[in-house]
Chains A and B, each alone.
Chain A
Amino acid sequence: GENVEQHPSTLSVQEGDSAVIKCTYSDSASNYFPWYKQELGKGPQLIIDIRSNVGEKKDQRIAVTLNKTAKHFSLHITETQPEDSAVYFCAASVTGNQFYFGTGTSLTVIP
């Protein structure tokens, strides 16, 4: 089955700096890669996703890049703000119905 690894497990950045979270996956058949943000006491919320037919996608301060050859994808947050502090999860979908999640990155943005 698919195996998704996520790094780092914790990340602290100064407000205004950039944050990068990286994930690798094992199954080359994976074709959909969402990123979720989970705030304290809440369920994960989709923040951005990318499909295997594109290499990069951007939405305001958030971007995701995908390298299919190396089987890794990354989340980039620029100009970080305190409200970006949360746990971020990556995921990979092989069949389109079943998802495999990374173990999460706890991001702290220091004012």
Chain B
Amino acid sequence: DVKVTQSSRYLVKRTGEKVFLECVQDMDHENMFWYRQDPGLGLRLIYFSYDVKMKEKGDIPEGYSVSREKKERFSLILESASTNQTSMYLCASSLLQKLKLGASTDTQYFGPGTRLTVL
């Protein structure tokens, strides 16, 4: 079974603090993702990474940065936390699959989430 773990289930921080959210996957997946989940908005992609030291901006990267120094680990960084970053943060990973006809699709596997509250 694919296992994606996140360092904290619940986190409370103060405005202006630097926050690190860690994600580790144990299936040698190339792709890793960070989403935030808010009521009525679904899941929104913050950043993703195709490989070590590579990163791509998602739909809402402002206020966040990421780090991928090792294949199994993908970190989300809030340089100066703000109250509007209070949310559920979900990490996911996926393995690029090549189908017989050459198309490629992915199945994403999610971690349990980190509920971050910024006071």
The finding on whether chains A and B are genuine partners in a shared complex, rather than unrelated, reads yes
Question: Can you give 7 contacting A-B residue pairs, CB < 8 Å?
Answer: A43-B4, A45-B110, A46-B108, A96-B103, A97-B94, A97-B106, A101-B42
Using a CB–CB distance below 8 Å, which chain B residues touch chain A? 4, 31, 40-45, 48, 50, 58, 90, 94, 96, 99, 101, 103-113
Q: How large is the interface on A (under 10, 10 to 19, 20 to 34, 35 or more residues)?
A: 20 to 34
- A33 CB to nearest B CB, Å: 10
Given contacts A46-B108, A97-B94, 18 further A-B contacts (CB under 8 A): A9-B40, A32-B105, A34-B108, A41-B112, A43-B90, A43-B111, A43-B112, A43-B113, A44-B110, A46-B109, A51-B99, A93-B106, A96-B96, A96-B103, A96-B104, A97-B31, A99-B45, A101-B43
Can you name the residue of chain B whose Cβ is closest to the Cβ of A103?
B42
Q: Is the CB of A42 within 8 A of B42?
A: no
Beyond A97-B50, A101-B42, whether A31 also contacts B109 by CB under 8 A is: no
Q: Is the CB of B107 within 8 A of A49?
A: yes
- A85 CB to nearest B CB, Å: 17
